[in-house]
Amino acid sequence: MERLDRKLGTASSLPLLAILLVAFIAPMLVVAVFSAMPRKVFSVFNSPDFSAYAALLEQGYYRSLLWSLGMALASTVILFVVCWPLAFGMAKVFKRFTIVLTIAVVVSLFVSENIRLFGWVLTLMKGGLIEGHVRAWTGEGFESPLYSVPIIVFSLVYVYFPFMLFPLAQGIAMVPDDARQAAADLGASRWRILFEIDLPLAAPGIVVGSLLSFVLAAGALAESKILGGQTVIVIADEIETAFTYGQDWPLGSALSMVLITIIAALAIYGIAKVDLDAIMGRKGR
């Protein structure tokens, strides 16, 4: 019976495996093969020469990559600091009010990201909601904060807020109150409880939240385009340009492969470090 069960289980997972293979692995393979092709060809049936990777090193694309990763890191750190107290409140303090907060944050996801970002442009631009009112009331205007690196980081924080908040709240919810109380009874300071109880026990949530927001921010494009005025060119922008105006599919593929490799390495490293089953609620086996 056990063997039959296992067989049927394997057999019923086949369609899903097939879908994964066709929809996920196959496109990745095509991108990988394309990245090895000579520059500016439109078919994978050429002899590979990896020239796109050479171009990538020679033409300073590392700068865009560094900007993307740097801004993703900055936004992830800021998100963690901003979300921690709120997530703590949602998991341990707010009780019924948590649902209100959850709905409020989730509702923002119902509106397309681009529209929300344009909303910020209208708010922050010269003559916009803020500067326009200040100028009308005081007669004195000021330069808008748009089109700069800090505003891009701000918009990354804004857009990926829910992706840090919810995993973090989930992670904090896993910290047993008994452990915190015991530590307090034994004379641990608040900081010590934070560093030795809360942070280690909430680690799965922290890792998932950080990975989600970092990975999404590293591949983000709209923030730097809409609010940032392309003041720095991010890697996703370079990939888009290579595929479109550059008409250089191998270069675009090579850039994608580099980004995919970095992110996959980070994700595998992060996930290997924590017990994901714990946060998914599958405790016993």
Partner 1 sequence: MKLNRRQFTLTMAGAAGLAGLGPLSKAFAARDNEMNILCWEGYNSDEVLGPFRNANSGSSVRAESGTSDPDMINKLRAGEVNVWDLINLNQPWARDQLYPENLIKPLDKDRFMPYFEKMMTGFSDPYPLAFADDGNLIGMPQRFGPFSFVVNTDKISREMAEDEGWNLFLDAGMKDRYGVLTYDNWNVIHMCLTAGLNPFEEVTGADAEKFKATAEQIFAGSKLLSDDLVAMNTALINGEIDAYFTGGTYTASPARFDGATNIRGITPKSGPVDGKGGVVWIELTSAVNNPDPSKLAEDFLEYVQAPEICKAVAFAEGTYNPVSQMGNPDVMARFDEDELDAIQWDSLEEEMSRSLDYQVVASYSSLIEIYNAAKRG
Task: Give the one residue of 116, 149, 243, 274 binding partner 1; rule: CB under 8 A.
Answer: 243
Helix/strand/coil for 113: helix
Helix/strand/coil for 158: helix
CB of 257 vs partner 1, minimal distance in Å? 18
Cα 45 from Cα 65, distance rounded (Å)? 29
* 40: DSSP letter: T
Stretch that binds partner 1, among 5-13, 149-157, 164-172, 203-211 (CB under 8 A): 5-13
Q: Of the candidates 250, 263, 245, 260, which has an alpha carbon nearest to the alpha carbon of residue 53?
A: 250
CB of 41 vs partner 1, minimal distance in Å? 11
187 neighbors 112 (Cβ within 8 angstroms): no
Residue 15 or 284: the one with the smaller Cβ distance to partner 1 is: 15
Number of residues in contact with partner 1 under rule CB under 8 A: 37
Residue 94 touching partner 1 (CB under 8 A): no
114 neighbors 222 (Cβ within 8 angstroms): yes
- Which position has the token pair 């509106």? 111
Residue 145 touching partner 1 (CB under 8 A): no
Mark 10-49 with x for binding to partner 1 (rule: CB under 8 A) and - for no binding: -xx--x------------------------x-x-------
Residue 241 touching partner 1 (CB under 8 A): yes
Q: In one letter, which amino acid is 100?
A: V
Residue 63 touching partner 1 (CB under 8 A): yes
Enumerate residues 152-181 that contact partner 1 by CB under 8 A: none
CB of 51 vs partner 1, minimal distance in Å? 13
Stretch that binds partner 1, among 56-64, 77-85, 104-112, 192-200 (CB under 8 A): 56-64
Residue 238 touching partner 1 (CB under 8 A): yes
Cβ-Cβ contacts under 8 Å for 16 (sequence gap 6 or more): none
Burial bucket for residue 228 (CB in 10 Å: 0-12, 13-18, 19+): buried
Cα 153 from Cα 150, distance rounded (Å)? 5
The whole-angstrom distance between residue 145's C-alpha and the CA centroid of its chain comes to 24
Q: Of the candidates 25, 43, 32, 68, which has an alpha carbon nearest to the alpha carbon of residue 254?
A: 32
- Token pair, residue 65, equals 């990559």
CB of 14 vs partner 1, minimal distance in Å? 9
Task: Give the one residue of 225, 258, 263, 279 binding partner 1; rule: CB under 8 A.
Answer: 225
- Token pair, residue 38, equals 């000579």
Residue 121 touching partner 1 (CB under 8 A): yes
CB of 134 vs partner 1, minimal distance in Å? 14
Residue 135 or 180: the one with the smaller Cβ distance to partner 1 is: 135
Residues lying near partner 1 in the complex (CB under 8 A)? 5, 8-9, 11-12, 15, 40, 42, 55, 59-61, 63-64, 121, 125-128, 144, 146-147, 225-226, 229-233, 238, 241, 243-248
